[in-house]
Amino acid sequence: MIIRKFISFVLSGVLLVSLFKPSPVHAQSEAHVDAHVTGTGGAVASEDVHASKAGMTILDQGGNAIDAAIAVAAAQGVTRPYSGGIGGGGMMLIYLAEEDRHITIDARSVTPASFNDESYIDPTTGSIYPAAMRTSSGTSVSVPGTIKNWEVALEQYGTMSFEDVLQPAIQVAENGFIADHNFVRETNQHQDRFNLFSSTVAIYDQPRVGERIKNPDLAHTYRLIANEGADVFYEGEVAEAMVQTINEPPLVAHPDFRAVSSNWNAERGILKGDVSLNDFKGYEVITREATHSTYRGYDIYGMPPSSSGGITVGLLFNILEGYDVPNMGPVDALHHYFEASRAAFADRRAFIGDPAFTDIPENELLSMSYADHRRSLIDSSIARIGQIAPGNPQTEAMPQFPYDFQDVKNGQTWPSEHFHRIDTGPSSHPFDATFTVNDEQGQMTLSPRQDGRGSSYGRAAVTMESLADHELTMRVYGKPSSGDHRLRIWLNADVWQSGSTLPLNGYGLELNFGTNQLALQSVVDGQLRTVERIPFTFQDEWHDVTFRIENEQLKVAVSAENEDRTNQWLAVHSLDSSNQTSLDKGNVLLSMINFDHHHAQTLYVDHIDVTPINEARQMSIQEDVQQKAISPAEKAIIEEPEEFEHLEDDADESTIHLSVSDDEGNIVSYTSTIVSIGGNGMVVPGYGFLLNNAVYSRIPTESPDHPNYPRPGMRSLSSMSPTIVMEEDRPVLTIGAPGSDTIITTVSQIMMHMLDFNRSFPEAITEPRFSQRNNFDSATEYEGRYVNNESLAQIAELETRGHRFLANQAVQGIGAVTGIEFHENGQVTPTTEPERRGGGSAMVQHATLSFSDVHENTFGYNSIMRMAGLHVITGYTDGTFRPSQPINRGQSARILTNALELPVPENVDSTPFVDTPPGHTYADVAAAVYEAGIMIGSNNSQYFKGGDYLTRQQMASILVRGLELENTGQAVTIVDLDQTYDAHRENVEILTQHGITITEDNRFRPNENVSRAQLVVFLDRALD
């Protein structure tokens, strides 16, 4: 006897979605296509079918979009635990239709009182702990904000209680979910981290695809919150458990730290946290109005700081507003989009952080006049060189030369408006250098070189417009010393090489104060060559330096302050073709290197001026200098101390997004995160959730007054970009994505496809993605896995315009979008990824049919529409349903399994049927319908015969068994009942009694094959 399912849910319109693992997609098999769907009523778009179903359940119970969004997030915390959950924080954007109001809830995790700029410094070496140690540490945890977010959202904008909205997630946690390929991949990639902690490996330990994952501890935690509210999480037993976990991580008996990373200091072990209950008791979310910008008649609403999403997306589109993007070809559109994105990201990095600690010029950054200024620096024909500088939203003007440091107080850092990027060393040693002002002069101080390192160094990028041939003049003071320390000046340079004082391309002048020598250098595609050495005796006084690139010649003049040689070149070197870069324009970069193990070194600079050649003075060659030409052999092999640093990769970044709307027009766009995939790797023992590692990357590489300098009580800068687009007070789109700072480019690119090129959401989401974030290498990333021939051709053409590209080879691609498109006719299209990160799940309360071969005059049209909306039936991969095609027993079993939500075996490693072994297309559903007693096979149940067409009398039996239809005793007339097999005769009568198969001539036609449309009609009648 099977358990009767909740058929009343079907009658109220809830979506019935199978919980079993999808079978492989074949050309002639039914595929579970739910990446997008169009319909009316409420809608949910999430990364997981259980989560979407949880949201739909709440909507069908009368909850609003806010209630449903929390139900979705709670379920995602079970099934997508490595991306988000109650151990982290998030950003929620709400649209209240009745009030026509956009509200944001900032629930970013907050650093504890103990966190500061020394939290990651190894006291024995003075260096920063390796990234692997920081990533999986107690120190990296910030106080989670998710539960407080849910509480505030429910109390102020929802209609239900914690008890109501958490119930679907509790059931999923207790009953389990089926591990898919994405879950297994993410687990395997981080298994070495998880193996460090006993509470984590107890739940997440090398799962297999198809395995059922249960989490009763998380179900217990959800019940505690349902009964006691947020207090139990921030003041009660859950808070106490988190404090214990952070301060005394639950390590296994013999943790293998070196398996996680060879850079892990195993003797140091785990980095413990230092938190107290007071850190948790004091947590509060921040409710603000959304950011607002406009674009071509659309209104764009986003998250304000501490998220950078709303301002950055708004600025990007403000810049694009000045171009006729809709009438551009794809290459022109991408060129302008990349350049606008670079400008927006430059400003993001410079000006946005936690507003509790810094004044953020939000209004200025989102003003159209500032966008006009930033746009004026874009060349429509060619990309700008290197990492571009941020603007100045206060003055909207480029800094002027010469620069004399006269506007800066002693001890302050070199001003960012003149030096847009200052690196005080690699991320592992951020205290190599200081760039401060002393007596109106720029001071650079380098620490001694540490054992095991190539050098200590610092570097600065001058804020300027890229120039072709140009000249730099400056005053320099360096005390002559026996130590090997050098100043390098780079002209016509593009970007810094990672971990180096060399650009990828550029021309250099090196001043070596230890060896009393000058060197002219060329770097072409990363290869350094010294093309000329010039002996020069440095005096203990200031020197005037002039360095010029002009017509493939390097020219240098250096003279002590009391010498009368300021108008004479020390050297003029003609560059041969092998030493010439391909750059037409470039920038000025400065770097200082100390190879000395024993002494710190200090240099001073002043009066820095950069001028185009046509504005430079005329100079003659100095006749008494002894130049040393470099032989071709020396050019190729230059013996110098090694200065490169090995830089560790950052941890993978992970986040998750969901979108919900209800039939009243309310919308929730919600992004949450535990930061890295799997957070810090620690499950709170007994409570089943992973903790975040929100500040593992917050190391003191910036000046202390920078918006994101590590400090207690801060909300770390976020890229989360939940976004809502309106047109004339009507919602058009809501969208969001995971992916660290690629979130912003993913959201923006899809918005451009939809708003400028009128693509539907399902079309836009499948486009190959690019991500230009103004990184130090200036490269635009593209998806190596999803790139197509059209995109490759676009890349090739854009490279001729000066753009640089880098393939992102991540299996999951860039971002995993979810969102909802709102149509003028009132319909909605929730949309998720068809493939990236394992695909997503889109649902609506009342679906609109979209089979290409089903029309209003098709037999069974209404039933097909109804069953498709309930996700009981799906079409073929070519978009057809094939209503008149006979249906086989396997397809029938799948439809019945969907409709009745039959439990499917956790692992189909055996089946009751000889002809349906494990791995067969119908193995899972065959086992399900057999266990339910609906389809028992033939020849003593040995054969399922999934490929055989289903006859009408067989259909009668499976419907009667599946729906537990009873014999009413009513007499029925069936002319051809005698043609029915004895095993099916009573079931044919029962089906007829219930009015499911009546025909005008009273014939049942028991031996005819059932078409796909007929089965749907009969099932629809039976459910009714």
- Tell me whether the omega of the peptide bond preceding residue 578 falls within 30 degrees of 0, making it cis: no
Quote the tokens at residue 767: 């486009």
831 phi, psi to nearest 5 deg: -135, 135
Task: Give the span between the Cα atoms of 752 and 775, in whole angstroms.
Answer: 22
Task: Give the span between the Cα atoms of 500 and 588, in whole angstroms.
Answer: 16
DSSP letters, 648-694, are: PPPPPEEEEEEEEE-TTS-EEEEEEEEEETTTTS-B-TTT--BPP-T
H or E element, residue 376: helix 368-376
Return the DSSP state at 62.
T
Q: Burial level of 299, CB count in 10 A (0-12/13-18/19+)?
A: middle
Three-state DSSP class for residue 1006: coil
Strand order in the sheet with 470-478: 433-438, 441-446, 601-612, 470-478, 543-550, 553-560, 571-574
Quote the tokens at residue 82: 């490595």
**264-309: per-residue pLDDT in tens?**
999 999 999 999 999 999 999 999 999 999 999 999 999 999 999 9
Using H for helix, E for strand and C for coil, what is the string for 244-302? HHHHCCCECCCCCHHHHCCCCCCCCCCCCCCCCHHHHHCCCCEEEECEEEEECCEEEEE
The answer to whether 774 touches 345, Cβ cutoff 8 Å, is: yes
Task: Give the span between the Cα atoms of 396 and 570, in whole angstroms.
Answer: 39
The answer to whether 726 touches 298, Cβ cutoff 8 Å, is: yes
In the prediction, which pLDDT does 90 show?
Answer: 97
H or E element, residue 593: strand 587-594
CA distances from 433 to 28, 212, 300, 416, 596 (A): 65, 53, 42, 16, 14
Task: Give the span between the Cα atoms of 453 and 641, in whole angstroms.
Answer: 10
249 contact partners, CB below 8 Å, separation of at least 6: 137, 138, 196, 197, 270, 272, 682
Handedness of CA 449, 453, 455, 458 (dihedral sign): negative
Task: Give the span between the Cα atoms of 458 and 151, in whole angstroms.
Answer: 47
* Distance from the Cα of residue 321 to its chain's centroid: 26
Quote the tokens at residue 557: 């003049």
Q: What are the residue ranges in the chain where pLDDT is below 70?
A: 1-33, 482, 564-566, 616-617, 620-653, 849-850, 869, 904-908, 937-941, 998-1000, 1024
CA distances from 530 to 243, 479, 535, 552, 573 (A): 56, 24, 14, 15, 11
CA distances from 293 to 286, 320, 372, 912 (A): 21, 12, 14, 61
H or E element, residue 547: strand 543-550
Which residues in 758-791 are b (16+ Cβ under 10 Å) and which e?
Answer: ebebbebbbbbbbbbbbbebbbbbbbeebbeeeb
**Total count of residues recorded for the chain:** 1024
The answer to whether 245 touches 711, Cβ cutoff 8 Å, is: no
pTM of the model: 0.81
CA distances from 675 to 128, 740, 820 (A): 20, 8, 24
H or E element, residue 1020: helix 1012-1023
CA distances from 651 to 132, 304, 429, 944, 994 (A): 7, 26, 18, 49, 61
* Alpha helix stretches (DSSP H) within 855-922: 861-869, 889-900
* Alpha helix stretches (DSSP H) within 100-215: 131-135, 146-157, 162-175, 181-189, 191-194, 198-201
Q: Burial level of 50, CB count in 10 A (0-12/13-18/19+)?
A: buried
Residue 262 neighbours by CB distance under 10 Å: 10
Residue closest to 256 by CA, chosen among 209, 197, 335: 197
In the prediction, which pLDDT does 435 show?
Answer: 94
The answer to whether 955 touches 1007, Cβ cutoff 8 Å, is: no
Where do we find the tokens 């739909």? 56
* Distance from the Cα of residue 101 to its chain's centroid: 27
**915-959: per-residue pLDDT in tens?**
888 878 888 888 888 888 888 766 556 888 888 999 989 888 888
Task: Give the span between the Cα atoms of 62 and 56, in whole angstroms.
Answer: 10
